[in-house]
Homo-oligomer: A and B are copies of this chain.
Amino acid sequence: MKFRLLLSCPDRPGIVAEVSQLIANSGGNVVAAAQFTDPISQHFFMRYEVEVEGAFEEEYKLRTTLEQGLAGLLRAPEASLVVCPAESRPKVALMASKASHCLVDVLQRWRTNELPCDIVCVIANHPHIEEYAGWFKVPFHHVDFSEQDKASAFGDVDALLDQYDVDLTVLARFMQVFPDHLVAKRAGHMINIHHSFLPSFMGARPYEQAHKRGVKLVGATCHYVTADLDQGPIIDQKVTRISHRDTPADLRMKGRMSEKEALARGLKLHLEDRVFVRGNRTVIFD
């Protein structure tokens, strides 16, 4: 059986040897390894893929061995250890508003086995999105943001996410701003695609802003959602060349490709446990 081991802690000599020894003692074999020590913060990040003969109960044994062996390290305030089966499939909710290109792209990639997850529901504030969810046989929920106040609508959204027990919420061009308490509740478990090359053109109508400024490339940014709008840790970014001939409507069309690609790549990196977040920066082992 194959596991992922994710360790993040203040750096000190010998961590690699200790972890490797504990794994060897448990009968595990490291089949992929990546590590990084941030030279500024001296924080250490490690991602191992470990194969262990035998089955189910090995996960518990491996985790316990590591937790005990690394107990000293893990007492540091910013230390964390995760051991999980490599084959785990997080439960994902997709949220959309009017535009369907990101939603359909994620669903189609999922269907063709590019994304290791279970997409358990689609939630949208526009009812026409139901058709797309239907194509992929994913349960759909319309939450109306026009006929009730925002707090009440987000209450419904939150209840749905709870009901489906989702591990990750993906805002695939969902254009309503989550209230702070719900962002906090799902910190590190909510991903957004913003249709600009952040930090340029935060907020509303980024393609109109880009057209007005006369930039020669437009972009898209996949990032974790935080309380500061469009300022969360960035996972991936992508740009597309444009010209003076492109109207804001052309930018919207040409930008779709970048949006789809940045979202798909960012989502995949997250699902494969390749992303560490520390402060406002990400460490990505791809």
Say yes or no: is A35 at the interface (Cβ < 8 Å to chain B). yes
A200 within 8 A of B: yes
Q: Specify which chain B residues have a CB less than 8 angstroms from the CB of A280 in the assembled complex.
A: 212-214
Is A24's CB within 8 Å of the partner chain B?
yes
Whether A65 sits at the interface, judged by CB under 8 Å, is no
Structural contact, A281 and B20, CB atoms closer than 8 A: no
Q: A17-B30, A23-B17 are in contact. Are A233 and B214 (CB under 8 A)?
A: yes
A23–B247 CA distance with the chains assembled, in angstroms: 27
Chain A interface size band reads 35 or more
Which residues of chain A from 243 to 286 have any CB-CB distance to chain B below 8 Å in the complex?
243-245, 247, 253, 256-257, 261, 264, 280-284
Q: Which of A83-91, A166-174, A182-190, A234-242 contacts B (4 or more CB under 8 A)?
A: A234-242
Kindly report how many copies of this chain are found in the complex they form together: 4
- Residue among A35, A201, A284 having the largest count of chain B Cβ atoms under 10 Å: A35
The secondary-structure label for the interface of chain A is mixed
Bound CA–CA A255/B101 (angstroms): 19
| In the bound complex, CA of A30 to CA of B44 (Å) | 11
Q: How far is it, in angstroms, between the C-alpha of A14 and the C-alpha of B104 when the chains are bound?
A: 43
Does A204 count as interface, using CB distance less than 8 angstroms?
no
Partner of A236, one of B216, B261, B282: B216
Is A71 close to B, CB under 8 A?
Answer: no
Please, which residue of chain B has its CB at the minimum distance from the CB of A232?
A: B214
Cβ-based interface call for A160 (8 A) = no
A55 part of interface (Cβ distance < 8 Å): no
A255 to chain B minimum Cβ distance, whole angstroms, is 12
Question: Counting CB contacts under 8 A, is A120 at the interface?
Answer: no
User: Which A residues are within 8 Å of any B CB, using their own CB?
Assistant: 13-21, 23-24, 29-40, 51, 100-101, 104-105, 108, 112, 114, 135, 197-201, 212-217, 219, 233-237, 239, 243-245, 247, 253, 256-257, 261, 264, 280-284
